Amino acid sequence: MPIVVVGLSHHSSPVTFRERFAFAEAALPPAVAKLRENGVAEEAVILSTCNRVEIYAFTRRAAREAVESIQRFLADFHECRESLGGHLYGLTEPQSLEHLFKVASGLDSMVLGETEILGQLKKAYDVALQHKHTGGRLNKAFQKAFNVAKQIRTETNIQRGTASVGSVAVELAEKIFSALENRAVMVLGAGDTSEKTARALLSRGARSILVSNRSHERAVALAQQLGGRAIHFEAWAEEFERIDIVISSTAAPHYILDRAKLAPLMKLRRNRPLLLIDIAVPRDIEPEVNFLDNVYLYNIDDLQAIADDCVRQRQQEIARCEEIIREKARALLEGLAHFALPTQKPPAELQA
């Protein structure tokens, strides 16, 4: 009578495949109900995010039979008639519990140690709990997973440092300006990464956002989303006197800002510090601007190198985290071995 996990993630499948198996939030309760009605699982939780779709189930069937049945359920529910090949994975105890703990702790995430997945996992569990699709086995497993995630978060350095372009940009900005309150940001180009970077700066207190793009309509749309102001692409240099941080990500085939153009603009700014974040490929900003006083230029490779270094620091903590997870999974299994059937009444609320 094991707890099993069946699913697919960014480790096993590209996004073009994962999106076919995603569950809309409203579809989760009826999907779990159908899974239980078919006799495949006694209890079940479905986790569906952009990076993974996983079914956690307690079953009275043999482990291999249960895994194969849930795999067929996933294929049938999403009307997939082609071979799933190596896209789907199936785990049984103790690996299934260890996997759950790793997911909750951010150890299985695309960005090692990230915390968003814990909230998503809690929400998935809460949906199943409120619809009475969980019982004593999964309740104990998920409560333990949340506790393990908290322990790993507080006792290890797995979440220390930055790991994304946006968070690296924030860290650099705070080193240059001490604090981001009242700092003005300009976004050149309206790409996804520049938007996320701008949002990260705003979340730390940046005062205002100016958006400039060759398509003014797109600049207006992004400015509205960010609570900022759009300016015409031909006029962005006129705003430099009031700007502290520039995020550049245009599709220009040549530099749009070089040393000759920036030098007189810095004089207008009275040489106040200027942070330039060039995330364009090919680059938007000439590297020689770094020779100007109080100019700090970072391109996408610089930012990625900083992020990678932080990831390497986190990876050194993996062995320690996995040791905690194995110990907690073993303890949980020993407790479940003495757990009487039928399963107990679900707890009234989630625990942190």
For 229-251, write each residue's pLDDT tens digit.
999 999 998 998 899 999 998 98
Give the pLDDT band (50/70/90) at residue 33.
Answer: very high
**Is residue 332 scored above 70 in pLDDT?**
yes
- Tell me which CATH homologous superfamily contains domain 165-308: NAD(P)-binding Rossmann-like Domain (3.40.50.720)
In the CATH scheme, what is the code of domain 3-158+325-337? 3.30.460.30
Q: Average pLDDT, stretch 18-43?
A: 91
Among residues of the chain, what percentage have pLDDT more than 90? 53
> What pLDDT is recorded for position 348?
45
Are 3-158+325-337 and 165-308 in the same CATH fold?
no
Tens of pLDDT, residue by residue over 82-137, are 777 778 999 999 999 999 999 999 999 877 787 878 999 999 999 999 999 999 99
Cis peptide bond prior to 282, omega within 30° of 0: yes
> What pLDDT is recorded for position 55?
97
Q: Tell me the backbone φ, ψ of residue 261, rounded to 5 degrees.
A: -80, -35
**Is residue 305 scored above 80 in pLDDT?**
no
Q: Average pLDDT, stretch 290-302?
A: 91
Among residues of the chain, what percentage have pLDDT more than 70? 94
- The identity of residue 302, as a single letter, is D
- The closest alpha carbon to 142, from 39, 60, 133, 28, belongs to 133
* For the chain, domain boundaries: 3-158+325-337, 165-308
Give the single-character DSSP code of 248. Answer: E
**Which residue among the candidates 50, 80, 310, 321 is catalytic per the annotation?**
50
> What pLDDT is recorded for position 81?
80
**Is residue 341 scored above 70 in pLDDT?**
no
Query: Is 310 among the residues known to form the active site?
Result: no
Contacts of 99 (CB under 8 A, 6+ apart): 5, 91, 108
Measured between alpha carbons, how far is 80 from 67 in angstroms, rounded to an integer? 17
> What pLDDT is recorded for position 163?
59
Q: What is residue 79's three-state secondary structure?
A: coil
Report CA dihedral (162, 167, 173, 179) to the nearest 10 degrees.
-90
**Is residue 317 scored above 90 in pLDDT?**
no
Contacts of 170 (CB under 8 A, 6+ apart): 162, 180, 200, 201, 203, 204
The size of the chain, in residues, is 352
